[in-house]
């Protein structure tokens, strides 16, 4: 289960940067979500949440010039935090599954002036070695191999447009498996909702790849960020978390919480940046914006 929370928090008179951390492992017992934020003086603070409540923020040793990243290491059964210090060196440390800091900072080779990224490990599923006809299933306390339920035969409507663009009718005896075709209705060809609880409402060749992302329609639009959205138009991309493109063509909102309202070939690349419209407008700085004029700097 993923839990999402926004934490706009003021602690000790310092305004914290609030980010979404949907990192929660089903293998944890009890399930715990760890939130790590950076204060305006670069100090680090943490908060843990279980299914019913969250603790207060508390500081732990270390300072980062950018917001750190957190992930859950399934194999080691611990949280991993990574970030960049004021001299651009990269550091990582761990917390136990209950969110207690292990104070084991280690420097990572390399330098970066930007926030460091990190991805989780999924060794638990990879090491199961399920046999043919089996899939990993959660028993309530651990992952284990079990039979892949085939499900019952279903009959779609007489004529539907499949994901590959062809029309077909008939029944599928493998409804719960991935080898059957999903009818999505005439006029909606080549769309794909790949993220967790994502959606594509219409149009063609649209992709909702981010978790909770959406594309309302249009052609060849992509919403790849978490909770990103594209309302319509053509060849637009909402790549940042919580980013949005209202329409137009060839527009890109790649910064987190960035927005392009419309127009042509506009881009909002910084965090919280925006372009109202126009043509060939680009903003790269955080909290930057451009109006709807054409070929202008303002």
CATH number reported for the structural domain that contains residue 194 in this entry: 2.150.10.10
The answer to whether residue 173 sits within a structural domain is no
Boundary of a domain, candidates 73, 88, 123: 123
Mean pLDDT estimate for the chain? 76
The answer to whether residue 195 sits within a structural domain is yes
Q: How many domains does the chain have?
A: 2
Residue 172 pLDDT more than 50? no
Sign of CA dihedral 237, 243, 247, 248: negative
The answer to whether residue 249 sits within a structural domain is yes
121 forms bridges with which residues in the sheet? 73
- N- to C-terminal Cα distance for the chain? 45
Identify whether residues 214 and 289 lie together within a single domain: yes
Identify whether residues 117 and 217 lie together within a single domain: no
Identify whether residues 197 and 117 lie together within a single domain: no
Q: Could you read off the pLDDT of 191-220 as tens digits, one per residue?
A: 888 888 889 988 889 999 889 999 999 999
Q: Could you read off the pLDDT of 126-142 as tens digits, one per residue?
A: 566 788 888 888 777 77
The answer to whether residue 26 sits within a structural domain is yes
222 forms bridges with which residues in the sheet? 207, 237
Identify whether residues 197 and 286 lie together within a single domain: yes
**Higher per-residue confidence, 199 vs 2:** 199
Q: Could you read off the pLDDT of 220-242 as tens digits, one per residue?
A: 999 999 999 999 999 999 999 99
Residue 108 pLDDT more than 50? yes
Identify whether residues 206 and 295 lie together within a single domain: yes
The answer to whether residue 152 sits within a structural domain is no
Identify whether residues 116 and 192 lie together within a single domain: no
Identify whether residues 109 and 194 lie together within a single domain: no
- pLDDT number for residue 120: 59
Take residue 37 and report the two structure tokens written for it: 């934020």
The answer to whether residue 167 sits within a structural domain is no
**Higher per-residue confidence, 144 vs 211:** 211
Cβ-contact 275, 288 below 8 angstroms: no
Identify whether residues 19 and 97 lie together within a single domain: yes
Q: How far is CA 215 from the centre of its chain?
A: 15
Of the pLDDT bands very low, low, confident and very high (cuts 50, 70, 90), residue 11 is very low
The answer to whether residue 170 sits within a structural domain is no
The answer to whether residue 176 sits within a structural domain is no
Residue 198's domain comprises 188-298
Cβ-contact 14, 40 below 8 angstroms: yes
């Amino acid at each position: 289960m993923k839990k999402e929370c926004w934490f706009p928090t003021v602690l000790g008179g310092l305004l914290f940067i609030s980010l979404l951390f949907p990192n929660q492992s089903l293998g944890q017992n009890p399930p715990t979500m760890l939130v790590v934020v950076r204060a305006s003086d670069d100090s680090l603070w943490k908060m843990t949440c279980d299914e019913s409540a969250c603790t207060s923020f508390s500081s732990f040793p270390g300072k980062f010039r950018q917001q750190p990243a957190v992930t859950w290491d399934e194999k080691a059964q611990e949280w991993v935090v990574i970030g960049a210090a004021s001299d651009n060196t990269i550091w990582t440390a761990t917390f136990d599954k209950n969110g207690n800091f292990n104070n084991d900072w280690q420097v990572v080779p390399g330098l970066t002036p930007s926030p460091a990224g990190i991805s989780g490990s999924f060794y638990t599923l990879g090491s199961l070695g399920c046999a043919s006809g089996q899939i990993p299933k959660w028993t309530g306390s651990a992952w284990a191999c079990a039979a892949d339920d085939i499900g019952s035969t279903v009959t779609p409507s007489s004529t539907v447009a499949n994901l590959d663009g062809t029309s077909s009718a008939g029944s599928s005896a493998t409804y719960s498996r991935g080898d059957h075709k999903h009818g999505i209705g005439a006029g909606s060809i080549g769309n794909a909702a790949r993220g967790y609880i994502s959606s594509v409402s219409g149009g063609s060749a649209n992709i909702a790849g981010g978790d909770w992302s959406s594309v309302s329609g249009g052609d060849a639009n992509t919403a790849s960020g978490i909770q990103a959205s594209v309302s319509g138009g053509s060849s637009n991309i909402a790549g940042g978390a919580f980013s949005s493109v209202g329409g137009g063509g060839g527009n890109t909102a790649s910064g987190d919480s960035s927005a392009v309202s419309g127009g042509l070939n506009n881009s909002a690349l910084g965090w919280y940046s925006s372009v109202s419209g126009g043509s060939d407008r680009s903003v790269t700085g955080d909290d930057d914006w451009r109006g709807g004029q054409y070929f202008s700097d303002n």
